[in-house]
Structure 1
């Protein structure tokens, strides 16, 4: 009896040790799948070569104006790839200027279980302040789709237009990618904006892809960390922006910011899991 108890405690201890040594969960929400399965294989090969684990990743497609059939086919390709590669979450796309075709595609995607779409004012050549963009974003929110939108400040007024868009499409959850890049300072307006009763919902989130790599170990690092805490650690997600940058670089940069273990865990996995997987976007008033 004594030996069986000892063996039991030993097995329990070994089990705990194995769990303690498991790699941390990581969700890379920003992986461009420009060339279908070839891109997925290249991404996974890059991870393997760097010794970098990933738990889930968002595979992104961006629609081209005037190519409705191609957009649908590309979205279907992403969905099919996510079944072949279960770690991949398909992040589909429409073009806001396609009118009824874009609305129909949103409806179809939601029916197929897609959880998010990607819009990019610069690459897709649209104005984020255009009423057609607002209409698409509102409909996405009604369908339970999260909208990822580029926020690298490539175009003038990027931050301001996206902030206004999120205020107007208040029932839609947005993930603004790159956290404004080197104009991240703007987003420190959020703590003040939240004090204005009835102004905004908790629908603005950010990925820190690319910007975190640039800012870590720079003279801006301290201000960047201050910004992360001002916009809210619970609103931040990790991304690589593959193939331009690697997940390894993003993870290493995040680890150098001096955040707490809890803050790092939330950015690395918890927030993306809550928003895109476990619960999906929470309903907004």
Structure 2
């Protein structure tokens, strides 16, 4: 029996910007260590040329030091010998687009951190409501949403889209819902119809017609490398019914437009 090889189905698909990439590890669950070198190598191995990278350290322990780690990754050539000077095939490692992470348990400190990061060129912030035990109705979420929208920043947020759309409504906010499940796709489409800045990651849209149901300009490729298998959303994108120009938009064009 021949082992299944996803590379044949993925073909020459190339992702120019993955909006859901993490460095670091979860201390309370099994999983990869998430070292920067290993993460960038994993992206490169799947023909993902750049990642919007956020820090689990910033989400779980300390915003400033975790965000500074990500900023350092994007600040110049990575030092050889640290596992980041080439992918498994000897190619160039993926590039890093820094994403600032804030702690919704500390709304005052979160907005202070946003104000520190924005002048440094950070164009997106990431929210981890599930990991931080924060619900959509908490005042902290709306407080952070307002500041991000006022600065024109993209918000990458986890959480159930059926609840977490609410704090961003009416703000002319640019939001990417990273955890939209295909079971909840109808709810996303309903709220997105009234919010032109609402977008969704492809990561959990794995039903036969999920990607084709969403307007292509609202879809962004996300893999959650290294804590999810990137080949799954790659296969769905490569083998679905989208046209070549739509695939290119989903695989990075839309993200680059939002982050511009």
TM-score range, shorter chain: 0.7 to 0.9
Structure 1 residue 145 corresponds to structure 2 residue 153? yes
Identify the residue that residue 180 of structure 2 maps to in structure 1.
179
Residue 93 (structure 1) shift? 1.0
The 1:270/1:64 distance shift into structure 2, 3 A limit, reads closer
Identify the residue that residue 252 of structure 2 maps to in structure 1.
269
Residue 101 (structure 1) shift? 1.7
Alpha-carbon contact 1:97-1:133 (below 8 Å) kept: no
Q: Which has the larger radius of gyration?
A: 1
Structure 1 residue 227 corresponds to structure 2 residue 213? yes
Identify the residue that residue 125 of structure 2 maps to in structure 1.
117
Higher helix share: 1
Q: What aligned pairs does 1:94-133 form with structure 2 within 5 A after superposition? A: 94-133=102-141
The 1:205/1:38 distance shift into structure 2, 3 A limit, reads closer
- 1:105-140 per-residue CA deviation (whole Å, 9 max, x = no partner) reads 110010111111111221111011112210111101
Q: What is the root-mean-square deviation of aligned Cα atoms in Å?
A: 2.4
Alpha-carbon distance between aligned partners in 2 of 1:91 and 1:172, rounded to the nearest angstrom? 16
Identify the residue that residue 48 of structure 2 maps to in structure 1.
54
Residue 56 (structure 1) shift? 1.5
Alpha-carbon distance between aligned partners in 1 of 2:98 and 2:200, rounded to the nearest angstrom? 18
The 1:64/1:225 distance shift into structure 2, 3 A limit, reads closer
Number of residues of Structure 1 aligned to a counterpart in Structure 2 = 225
- 1:60-117 per-residue CA deviation (whole Å, 9 max, x = no partner) reads 124457x5xx211111111011114581011111112313222211100101111111
User: 1:83 aligns to what SS in structure 2?
Assistant: coil
Alpha-carbon contact 2:162-2:188 (below 8 Å) kept: no
Which segments of 5 or more consecutive residues in structure 1 lack a partner in the other structure? 1-21, 152-157, 195-199, 281-285
Residue 180 (structure 1) shift? 3.1
Alpha-carbon distance between aligned partners in 2 of 1:42 and 1:185, rounded to the nearest angstrom? 36
Identify the residue that residue 68 of structure 2 maps to in structure 1.
76
Alpha-carbon contact 1:187-1:227 (below 8 Å) kept: no
Identify the residue that residue 39 of structure 2 maps to in structure 1.
43
- What is the TM-score when the length of structure 2 is the normalising length? 0.77
Q: What aligned pairs does 1:153-232 form with structure 2 within 5 A after superposition? A: 158-168=160-170, 170-190=171-191, 194=193, 200-209=194-203, 211-212=204-205, 215=206, 220-222=207-209, 224-228=210-214, 232=215
Alpha-carbon contact 1:28-1:54 (below 8 Å) kept: yes
Alpha-carbon distance between aligned partners in 2 of 1:132 and 1:24, rounded to the nearest angstrom? 37
Which segments of 5 or more consecutive residues in structure 2 lack a partner in the other structure? 1-11, 26-32, 79-93
- 1:233-274 per-residue CA deviation (whole Å, 9 max, x = no partner) reads 111100111112243332222111121111111100210110
The 1:251/1:226 distance shift into structure 2, 3 A limit, reads closer
